[in-house]
Amino acid sequence: MASDEELMARAAEGDMDAFEEVVQRNQQLALNVAYRFLGDPVLAEDVAQDAFLKILSGATRYEPSARFRTYLYNVVWHLCVDLYRRKRPGPLESPHERAHPDPGPAQAVLAGELHELVRAAVHSLPPRQRMAIILKHFEDMSYEDIGRALGCSPTAVDALLVRAKRKLKDVLEDRL
Amino acid sequence: MVNCERTRELLNAYLDGELSPERRAKVDEHLRACGACTDVRSQWLRLNRAIGSLPGAKVPDGFARRVRQAAEAGRALRVGRMGRRVRLFGDALTRIAAVFMAVAGVAVGMAMGWTSAAANGHATASDRMESEGIALQTDMPVAMPEDSLSDVYLAFVIDEE
């Protein structure tokens, strides 16, 4: 099976089947990161699509010195932070969730409330801390790979995570 | 053996599996002996679990196909619009024309600015000052258009009234 890097090389030469294959393999990843950062599924879809299109438009310049996924995370990060600076989206709750709260059993309600608290707390973090949390805790990336995606050192990634978690702990302490 | 302060500084990296084996061993050794730091580690673990429990996004149906279609449409649009690619300032003739236009624009602008009250034949307050023998050190233009704010101000200053 061809690697993402090999598929991108073919996409650079105009092979759109290869490009679509790359998108299919990595769409969940791009959408997850964008959604967890922005909190809006529609914006997340726009960002994920733009990320793949940007990557394709730069495919002739793509040097597979780093893994494709690290490159994808880097592009998604820049698009997310651009959108964050332009739109400063509001609270994480989607209109669908507001309109259709699911009462469910008590434990599910409590779990749901905790999810909302955690999501709101993560969403309140500054952009770099928020993305560091997302890439570590949801994408299980190493500090080195997170550093490549965010353009900083592994030590700086550790510092971002520590600061972020201290803030989250302050907000969530009673509920943990 | 590391102390409590150092252990807590390293706890995040320790829980993320980012410490070297040597450092990890030192933190392990401290945690075995320190209940307070073990409690802090438990708090971090609970926090990590809470963060990791958040759901992700659902992939919309047909997402990859739509991205491909957008890419193909973008490529067709760029080729269709231009036919032949024209790069701004990309060829020597275009560059020469751009420089000529810039020089011509500056020359015309300068020519249009070469007017003065004297040339227009109007006596301004500054002219009257000169006739009164009043010298005024100013960094405003000496020849001020008639009835301009500067002219009115100077008229006030030399007490024409």
- ipTM metric: 0.79
Helices A16-38 and B63-82, axial angle in degrees (round to 10)? 110
Query: Does the A1-90 domain belong in CATH 3.20.20.10?
Result: no
Among partner residues B18, B48, B56, which is closest to A32 by beta-carbon distance? B56
Q: Where in chain A is the domain with CATH 1.10.10.10?
A: 101-176
What per-residue confidence (pLDDT) applies to B99? 73
From 3.30.420.40, 1.10.10.10, 3.40.50.10490, 3.90.1640.30, which CATH number describes the A101-176 domain?
Answer: 1.10.10.10
Put simply, whether B6 touches A (Cβ < 8 Å) is no
Pairwise CB contact (< 8 Å): B64 & A158: no
Is residue A61 over pLDDT 50?
A: yes
Q: CB neighbours of B141 closer than 8 A, spacing ≥ 6?
A: B150
Put simply, whether A153 touches B (Cβ < 8 Å) is no
Tens-place pLDDT, residues B46-99: 999 888 877 889 999 999 999 999 999 987 666 655 554 444 444 566 667 667
Q: Shortest Cα distance from A71 to chain B (angstroms)?
A: 18
Number of domains within chain B: 2
Residue B40 lies in a domain: yes
Question: In the predicted model, what is the mean pLDDT of residues B113-123?
Answer: 51
Q: Where in chain A is the domain with CATH 1.10.1740.10?
A: 1-90
CB under 8 A, 24+ apart: contacts of A17-23? A19/A52, A19/A56, A19/B68, A19/B71, A20/B64, A20/B65, A20/B67, A20/B68, A22/A52, A22/A68, A23/A52, A23/B63, A23/B64, A23/B67, A23/B68
Question: In the predicted model, what is the mean pLDDT of residues A56-61?
Answer: 83
Q: Shortest Cα distance from A86 to chain B (angstroms)?
A: 22
Pairwise CB contact (< 8 Å): B56 & A142: no
Residue B98 lies in a domain: no
What per-residue confidence (pLDDT) applies to A59? 81
What per-residue confidence (pLDDT) applies to A115? 79
Is residue A64 over pLDDT 80?
A: no
Tens-place pLDDT, residues A150-170: 999 999 999 999 999 999 988
Is residue B136 over pLDDT 50?
A: no
What is the Cα–Cα distance from B5 to A83, expressed in whole angstroms? Answer: 39
What per-residue confidence (pLDDT) applies to B88? 45
Q: Is the distance from CB of B138 to CB of B148 less than 8 angstroms?
A: no
Q: Shortest Cα distance from B54 to chain A (angstroms)?
A: 6
Is residue A98 over pLDDT 50?
A: no
Q: CB neighbours of B40 closer than 8 A, spacing ≥ 6?
A: B8, B11
Residue ranges in chain A assigned as alpha helix (H): 4-12, 16-38, 41-57, 68-87, 95-99, 106-123, 127-137, 143-150, 154-172
* Domain limits for position B144: 117-157
pTM: 0.66
Pairwise CB contact (< 8 Å): A53 & B51: no
Residue B78 lies in a domain: no
Put simply, whether B28 touches A (Cβ < 8 Å) is no
Question: In the predicted model, what is the mean pLDDT of residues B10-30?
Answer: 95
